[in-house]
Amino acid sequence: MSWTERTIEPLALARPGVDRDAEHRTDEAWLAAAWSHPTTRVLVVSGGQVLVIDDTPGAAPGGAPAGGGTGGAGPSLVLLPSFEAPEGERYFLGTDTDGVRHFALAAESLPGRMDGEARPAGLREVGGLLSRRDAGLMVHAVALENWHRMHGFCARCGRPTVIAAAGHVRRCPACGAEHYPRTDPAVIMLVVDEDDRALLGRQVHWPEGRFSTLAGFVEPGESLEQAVVREVAEEVGVPVGEVTYVASQPWPFPSSLMLGFTAQAVSTGIRVDGDEIHEARWFSRDELTECFEAGTVLPPSSISIAARLIENWYGKPLPAPRR
Ligand SMILES: [Zn+2]
């Protein structure tokens, strides 16, 4: 199995389980009918959090009839019929493989639940544990909510904007400008040397022992490959040659798209910038295994593409983070 085949499929937060049905976003009659249809389900999102129910094996599935659906242990989204949804802006998310229409609803707060089983959760916590469909719904809803929350005013004229296209556009009534959801490209790369050692760094604000791949935002007028070369040079002073794309992952914290690469180091001398990166080291697989066992290196969160990039080089799953 190739690097790419192993990488793309299991990435949490990059699992399409819903057809976005974009052609319906400007059809108000269709949207109104879809909203009021009895099988339609609504995911309430507030401040990046949603309600989830923790399924336990053998227990009755929680949530509304069309909700849940992991079919086993692990959390599932609480999806409400539209007549139970609170007030708020609606975003049309799409149609799942059972033909159920899904909306997100951005509310001031999450609704209380009489059964007491539901709990609020964020994407970092449950994104990697949800079913394919639920992960796709949640990442879409959270990304849109982040964007709407930050873009209430027109970047051209400064007047208030209004929601349009079922949550996928904001329009300015004053000057007519249309604003589209923003995604900020960021490159994330595993640098490997000619001895097949991997370069991992620790950011200034990370705890002792936490190491991961290098990463940074793409700048205006720059290609992805140029961004990889520049970021590695800036952060650790290592020149890299060949840059190879691996996979991508939406990362709506608040609006990034992580584009994963491997990069081949031309030389191995390290000079950390001390600004973003506090320390960086070359690791062979054996050295990394020893460090994991001794607890001197802590792996990155399993939800992130960083973990997947390291894992594909390492050749096996990384140990679970210690608590
Ligand atoms: Zn305007």
Ranges of each domain in the chain: 3-150, 155-181, 184-314
The predicted structure's pLDDT at residue 128: 87
Element (H, E) at 28: helix 28-36
In this chain, the answer to whether the domains covering 3-150 and 184-314 adopt an identical fold is: yes
Q: Considering just the CA atoms, what is the radius of gyration of the chain in Å?
A: 22
Ligand 1 centre distance from Cα of residue 163 (Å): 13
Cα–ligand 1 centroid distance for 165 (angstroms): 17
How far is the centre of ligand 1, averaged over its atoms, from the C-alpha of 221 (Å)? 26
pTM of the model: 0.88
- In angstroms, what is the span from residue 253 Cα to ligand 1's centroid? 26
Q: ∠37-42-46 over CA atoms, to 5°?
A: 155
pLDDT score for 301: 85
What is the percent of the chain with per-residue pLDDT over 70, rounded to a whole number?
89
Would you state the pLDDT for residue 112? 83
Rounded to an integer, the average pLDDT of 69-85 is 82
CA–centroid distance, 181 to ligand 1, in Å, is: 16
Compute, in angstroms, the gap from residue 164 CA to the centroid of ligand 1. 14
Give the whole-angstrom CA distance, residue 319 versus residue 79: 33
On the question of a cis peptide bond just before residue 254, with omega within 30 degrees of 0, the verdict is yes
- Across 11-15, average pLDDT: 72
Rounded mean pLDDT of 176-198?
97
Give the Å distance between the CA of 153 and the centre of ligand 1: 8
Taking the C-alpha atoms of residue 107 and residue 114, their distance in angstroms, rounded to an integer, is: 18
Distance (Å, whole) CA 303 – CA 297: 18
Q: What's the 149 CA to ligand 1 centre distance in angstroms?
A: 17
Is residue 113 within 8 Å of 96, Cβ to Cβ? no
Given CA atoms 61, 67, 71, 75 in this order, what sign does their dihedral have? Answer: negative
If you search the block for the tokens 């959390």, which residue do you land on? 75
Q: What tokens were used for 283?
A: 């690791």
Rounded CA gap, 207 and 44, in Å?
A: 34
Q: Which CATH class is domain 184-314?
A: alpha beta
Cα–ligand 1 centroid distance for 161 (angstroms) = 7
Handedness of CA 120, 10, 134, 118 (dihedral sign): negative
CA distance between the termini of the chain: 33
Q: What is the pLDDT of residue 5?
A: 44
Contact predicate 257/178, CB 8 Å: no
State the distance from the centre of ligand 1 to the C-alpha of 147, rounded, in angstroms. Answer: 17
- For residue 159, the CA-to-ligand 1 centroid distance in Å is 6
Which residue reads 């790369």 in tokens? Answer: 189
Check residue 65 and give its pLDDT: 37
Which residue intervals of 237-299 are DSSP H helices? 285-294
**pLDDT for 238 beyond 90:** yes
Report pLDDT for 117. 86
pLDDT surpassing 90 at residue 2: no
Fold of 3-150: Nucleoside Triphosphate Pyrophosphohydrolase (3.90.79)
* Residue 312, CA atoms < 13 Å, CB-side half-sphere: 26
Rounded mean pLDDT of 42-53?
Answer: 97
CA distance linking residue 116 with residue 59, whole number of Å? 16
Residue 294 exposed, middle or buried by CB count within 10 Å (0-12, 13-18, 19+):
exposed
Distance 183 CA to ligand 1 centre (A): 20
Cα 160 to ligand 1 centre (Å): 8
Q: How far is the CA of 25 from the centre of ligand 1 (A)?
A: 22
Report the 10 Å Cβ neighbour count for 124.
15
